[in-house]
């Protein structure tokens, strides 16, 4: 009997967008116009433990929204997402850090929000700092970091804490040439480790074909196709061409 790590059951999720208005018209009746955008519509699948799922689709199709919903950042309007008791981390540059806190404080906060204890985080702290290669900046506010330093620490944190489920949003390597090679090797090690269940959003179809067990194709918030990489990606390439 298969053991599942993620169960996404008929998930719907919408955004409420507001049209901007000028200061002159701000206090007029009905000045702010709200528009509901349906980002996910009936997404339904289950992913077995240790499997790697790739997610493809055009920009704006709902791929990153799905990852954030699985990661608990967004709440769904309808349906449910069951992580089957697993810890989950989202690797998406630009998401997750408080810019006013130091790098060390962000590691502690992010680790606790993911479900790790202080002792578990402390045991990993040195290896997180060493892999990130940001030196004394670990104790400086994140708003003093360059984009490269930010991405290095975010990558190191997400990959060193070693959660059961890893969600990867277009980030398979980060940093300068030296660090990009190191981070890509680290990512491949994690993805190939059958103790991890992985969901990858990427436009690099060749990489997805190489790494993934299944591919989910999302189009305008709906499931277009799910199945073997060679089958789904062939149809997706035809559509994109």
List the domain range (segments joined by +) for residue 196: 51-73+87-240
Q: Note whether residue 46 is domain-resident.
A: no
Grouping H, G, I as helix, E, B as strand and the rest as coil, residue 5 is strand
Q: Note whether residue 133 is domain-resident.
A: yes
Calpha distance 228→96 (Å, rounded) = 32
Q: Note whether residue 180 is domain-resident.
A: yes
Q: Note whether residue 118 is domain-resident.
A: yes
Q: Give pLDDT tens digits for 89-142.
A: 888 765 668 889 999 999 999 888 888 899 999 999 999 999 999 999 999 999
Q: Give pLDDT tens digits for 136-179.
A: 999 999 999 998 898 889 889 888 888 899 898 877 767 778 88
Q: What is the pLDDT of residue 95?
A: 61
Q: What does pLDDT average to over the chain?
A: 88
CATH number assigned to the domain comprising residue 199: 3.40.50.300
Q: Note whether residue 160 is domain-resident.
A: yes
HEC string for 29-55? CCCCEEEEEEEEEEEEEEEECCCEEEE
Q: Note whether residue 117 is domain-resident.
A: yes
Grouping H, G, I as helix, E, B as strand and the rest as coil, residue 15 is strand
CA-wise closest residue to 93 among 191, 11, 205, 175: 175
Domain count, the chain: 1
Q: What is the pLDDT of residue 141?
A: 96
In the numeric block, which tokens belong to residue 42? 């009936």
Q: Give pLDDT tens digits for 6-15.
A: 999 999 999 8
Considering the entire predicted model, what is its pTM?
0.81
C-alpha torsion angle, residues 77, 74, 120, 166 (rounded to 10): 100
Q: Note whether residue 158 is domain-resident.
A: yes
Q: Note whether residue 93 is domain-resident.
A: yes
């Amino acid at each position: 009997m298969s053991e599942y790590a993620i169960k996404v059951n008929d998930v719907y999720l919408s955004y409420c967008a507001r049209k901007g208005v000028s200061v002159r018209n701000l206090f007029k009746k009905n000045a702010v116009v709200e528009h509901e955008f349906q980002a996910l519509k009936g997404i339904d699948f289950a992913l077995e433990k240790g499997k790697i799922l790739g997610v493809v689709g055009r920009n704006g199709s709902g791929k990153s929204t799905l990852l954030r919903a699985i990661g608990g950042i967004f709440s769904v309007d309808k349906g449910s997402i069951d992580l089957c008791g697993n810890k989950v981390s989202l690797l998406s540059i630009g998401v997750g850090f408080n810019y006013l806190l130091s790098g060390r404080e962000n590691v502690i906060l992010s680790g606790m929000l993911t479900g790790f204890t202080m002792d578990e985080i402390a045991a990993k702290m040195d290896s997180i700092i060493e892999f990130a290669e940001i030196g004394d900046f670990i104790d400086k506010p994140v708003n003093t970091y360059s984009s490269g330093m930010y991405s290095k620490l975010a990558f190191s944190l997400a990959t060193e804490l070693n959660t059961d489920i890893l969600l990867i949003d277009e980030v398979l390597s980060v940093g300068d040439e030296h660090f990009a090679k190191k981070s890509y090797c680290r990512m491949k090690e994690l993805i190939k480790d059958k103790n991890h269940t992985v969901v990858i959003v990427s436009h690099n179809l060749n990489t997805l074909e190489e790494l993934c067990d299944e591919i989910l194709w999302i189009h305008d918030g709906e499931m277009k196709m799910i199945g073997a990489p060679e089958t789904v990606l062939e149809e997706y390439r035809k559509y994109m061409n």
